[in-house]
Amino acid sequence: MLKETPLNRARLLIACHDRPGIVSAVSTFLHKYQANIVQSDQYSTDPEGGMFFMRIEFDIQKEGQLFSELKSAFEAIAKTFSMNWQMELAHRKKKMAIFVSKEDHCLLELLWKWRAGELHVDIPLVISNHEDNRKEVEAYGIPFYYLKINKDNKREAEQQAIDLLLEHDIDFIVLARYMQILSSHFVETFPHKIINIHHSFLPAFIGANPYAKAFERGVKLIGATAHYVTDDLDEGPIIEQDVLRVNHRYTVDQLRVAGRNIERIALARAVAWHTNDQIIVHGNKTVAFS
């Protein structure tokens, strides 16, 4: 069970070109509004003209201070430094939709962590192109939507999924071994809001059947990669990766079984980091604050 988050706790993420005065301006602003900084992390790619990234957790101390007013007031600072930024209340539960096909190991890991209070999210729905996991999902009290997909109806099925996600005001989507390639339209509708788990240590073995490819190559390490989805297949910004050492005795099926454990771990970490506002996307990379 996660420690209960104070109702007055907020998080601020910043990305901008590095220049003098950023930290001072942000801390002065928060001090002006009587906010108390409880954690601050920053990273600069190059102090001379590089990029600057920052994550701050702070408590709003002023009695009656509205978060919306604070957020609105920060826009002036953001404009001065041409920041890409977001400010969130830490206690707000993000709404997470899960997409799954037949395999259930990643799905069940997320559901178990959610029920155990280890993922600070709401799960309004699970969408699948197969009926296999309906009983498991509904046992958690979560609505399960079956959307049959084939080559003739893919556009219509995707639009049904988009309509459901918008209807439930979803914050982000997790592809828990959802074995479908999403269209450009779908990806563009939810930019940097779709997390996928790929059963390989990217950039190796992109696409289908990575364990068979790994077996043929005789690898000594197998891995899994959690990343944001873009139009380029399995090439979106990487959030988390993990590996496991194997040897020549492993068959393809044994590699697949071992890999499932890595997939579950890597995906759950990535979801937790996204949920806790620990990720900044910059180009095709991410900055992941601990």
From CA 162, how far away is CA 238, in angstroms rounded? 24
Catalytic residue among 18, 171, 234, 242: 234
User: In sequence order, what E strands does 69-146 have?
Assistant: 84-89, 94-100, 121-128, 144-146
Using DSSP bridges, classify how beta strands 172-175 and 94-100 pair: parallel, antiparallel or unpaired. parallel
Q: State residue 290's pLDDT score.
A: 85
Question: Which class is domain 94-288?
Answer: alpha beta
Q: Which two tokens stand for residue 87?
A: 């400010």
Tens-place pLDDT, residues 14-29: 999 999 999 999 999 9
Residue spans of the domains in the chain: they are 9-89, 94-288
With 90 as the cut, is the pLDDT of residue 119 above it?
yes
Tens-place pLDDT, residues 159-189: 999 999 999 999 999 999 998 999 999 999 9
From CA 50, how far away is CA 194, in angstroms rounded? 28
Please check whether residue 51 is in contact with residue 81, taking contact to mean a CB–CB distance below 8 angstroms. no
Q: State residue 1's pLDDT score.
A: 60
* 198 Rama sector, left if φ>0, alpha if ψ -120 to 50, beta otherwise: beta
104 catalytic, yes or no?
Answer: no
Q: For the domain bounded by 9-89, which CATH number is listed?
A: 3.30.70.260
